[in-house]
């Protein structure tokens, strides 16, 4: 299953770096370096690195990744304010706190240092207590920034991994979709997973040479769990593995699903379903529903005289209440019959005035499209995208189209 790697990813949380305080001192005078070293000698959590040559300071900072830079303003070969600008121009050192050291308290110099990007200003040599306090203050803020960035990067990586798993799961669900049929039963369908994978699935198959089953279900919620439950139900239907069930009887099928997939045994998830059986010799469809939107039949003696009929199932959602019965209804096919089974993601969209569209709005859309000779899967999907004003649906969308030719000569194998 595509969930395997996702579960492993959750078992291995990201490991974050352990940051310690590292001070880079840039000063051409060794006596200053020795004085600072002595000030920090009693602080085991503060590591001091010294750079006497200011022209090498930038490269050294990139190597050791300090949490604070202490830098003199008066040095040979390079002006201290210029070095401040270099530190701030480099992507690797741009955010590292920087304290400039000066021999005098000069407002103009101090203002220029801050303008170039310095975070603090000290007249050297400062009092030991003050120096340590400033080192800890600026380093703590920078370490917090590093940890926040690491956490954000880990979040992005986790989201990317989750999105990858969802895409794999969606691909797996799509791989289970049935092949499209041609002949006395023609089928077409579309499955559009939303940005958060849900629990739509559907299928159809010949039970025997005279009975053809068709079904579409929608599990509550989203995510891998909903997809797994959906796949489990579909596999049971496709393999006809439910115990002591006549799969030609929709009421029996739904009643057994309601017993097998109780909410308390499946993480409080339930699902809706429409299940129908086409009887080829009788030219009839028997069907039952478990809280699912009604199927839509367009039927008549010819395509020109066909009218739209809703085929609602009257049963309760599957898994919520045990020992429920599911009434079976029947529908006689005419020479032309086209059937649509769908999930609520196709119609629960914005685009019906100031409210979300309902099933009756969708039925009207299908009716209007049929009059325009465009009541097929692609035309319906395009119409609903146009109605909501965007190409992405908020929920999974499943739309199954079946067209029957009871009097036709072409037969499908089972």
Q: Predicted confidence band at 338 (pLDDT cuts at 50, 70, 90)?
A: very high
Q: Predicted confidence band at 143 (pLDDT cuts at 50, 70, 90)?
A: very high
Average pLDDT, the chain: 89
pLDDT above 90 as % of the chain? 70
Residue 10 has pLDDT above 60, yes or no: no
Write down the pLDDT at residue 284: 96
The HSE-up count of residue 64 (CA atoms within 13 Å, CB side) is: 21
Domains, the chain:
21-148 (3.40.50.2300), 178-404 (3.60.40.10)
Give the closest residue to 121 by CA, choosing from 82, 81, 153.
81
- Could you read off the pLDDT of 150-172 as tens digits, one per residue? 888 888 887 787 677 767 777 77
Distance CA 39, CA 28 (A): 18
pTM above 0.85, yes or no: no
Q: Predicted confidence band at 355 (pLDDT cuts at 50, 70, 90)?
A: very high
Question: Can you give the C-alpha Rg of the chain in angstroms?
Answer: 35
Q: Predicted confidence band at 311 (pLDDT cuts at 50, 70, 90)?
A: very high
Write down the pLDDT at residue 72: 92
Write down the pLDDT at residue 196: 62
- Could you read off the pLDDT of 235-293 as tens digits, one per residue? 999 999 998 899 999 999 999 999 999 999 888 899 999 999 999 999 999 999 999 99
Distance CA 316, CA 260 (A): 15
Residue positions counted in the chain: 414
Distance CA 307, CA 294 (A): 16
One-letter-per-residue 3-state SS of 197-225: CEEEEEEEEEEECCEEEEEEEEEEEECHH
Residue 202 has pLDDT above 90, yes or no: yes
Distance CA 159, CA 354 (A): 33
CA of residue 209 relative to chain centroid, distance? 42
Distance CA 135, CA 46 (A): 9
Distance CA 297, CA 331 (A): 9
Residue 5 has pLDDT above 50, yes or no: no
- Could you read off the pLDDT of 34-57 as tens digits, one per residue? 999 999 999 999 999 999 999 999
Token pair recorded at residue 319 = 């898994």
Residue entry with tokens 């199932």: 313
Token pair recorded at residue 84 = 């401040």
Residue 62 has pLDDT above 90, yes or no: yes
Classify 235 as helix, strand or coil.
helix
DSSP 325: -
């Amino acid at each position: 299953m595509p969930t395997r790697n996702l579960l492993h990813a959750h078992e291995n949380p990201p490991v974050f770096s352990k940051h310690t305080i590292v001070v880079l001192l840039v000063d051409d005078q060794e006596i200053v370096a020795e004085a600072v070293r002595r000030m920090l000698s009693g602080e085991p959590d503060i590591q001091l690195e010294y750079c006497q040559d200011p022209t090498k300071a930038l490269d050294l900072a990139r190597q050791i990744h300090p949490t604070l830079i202490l830098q003199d303003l008066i040095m040979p070969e390079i002006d201290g304010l210029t070095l401040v600008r270099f530190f701030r121009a480099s992507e690797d050192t741009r955010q590292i706190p920087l304290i400039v050291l000066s021999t005098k308290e000069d407002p103009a110099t101090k203002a220029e240092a801050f303008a170039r990007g310095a975070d603090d200003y000290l007249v050297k040599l400062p009092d030991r207590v003050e120096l340590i306090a400033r080192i800890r203050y600026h380093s703590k803020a920078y370490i917090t920034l590093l940890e926040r960035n690491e956490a954000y990067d880990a979040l992005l990586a986790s989201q990317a991994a989750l999105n990858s798993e969802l895409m794999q799961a969606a691909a797996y669900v799509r791989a289970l979709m049935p092949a499209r049929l041609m002949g006395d039963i023609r089928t077409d369908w579309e499955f559009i997973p939303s940005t958060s994978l849900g629990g739509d699935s559907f299928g159809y198959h010949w039970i025997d040479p005279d009975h053809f089953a068709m079904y579409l279900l929608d599990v509550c919620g989203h995510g891998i769990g909903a997809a797994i439950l959906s796949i489990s139900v579909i596999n049971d239907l496709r393999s006809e593995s439910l115990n002591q069930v006549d799969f030609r009887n929709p009421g029996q099928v739904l009643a057994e699903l309601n017993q097998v997939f109780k909410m308390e045994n499946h993480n409080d998830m339930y699902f809706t379903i429409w299940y129908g059986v086409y009887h080829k010799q009788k030219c009839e469809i028997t069907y039952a529903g478990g809280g699912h939107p009604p199927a839509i039949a367009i039927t008549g003696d010819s395509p020109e005289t066909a009218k739209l009929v809703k085929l609602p199932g009257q049963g309760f959602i599957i898994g919520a209440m045990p020992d429920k019965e599911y009434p079976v209804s029947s529908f006689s096919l005419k020479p032309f019959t086209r059937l649509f089974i769908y999930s609520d993601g196709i119609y629960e969209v914005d685009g019906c005035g100031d409210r979300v569209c309902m099933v009756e709005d969708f039925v009207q859309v299908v009716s209007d499209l049929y009059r325009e000779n465009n009541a097929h899967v692609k035309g319906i999907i395009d119409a609903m995208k146009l109605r909501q004003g965007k190409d992405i649906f908020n929920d999974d969308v499943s739309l199954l189209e079946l067209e029957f030719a009871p009097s036709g000569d072409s037969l499908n194998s089972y």
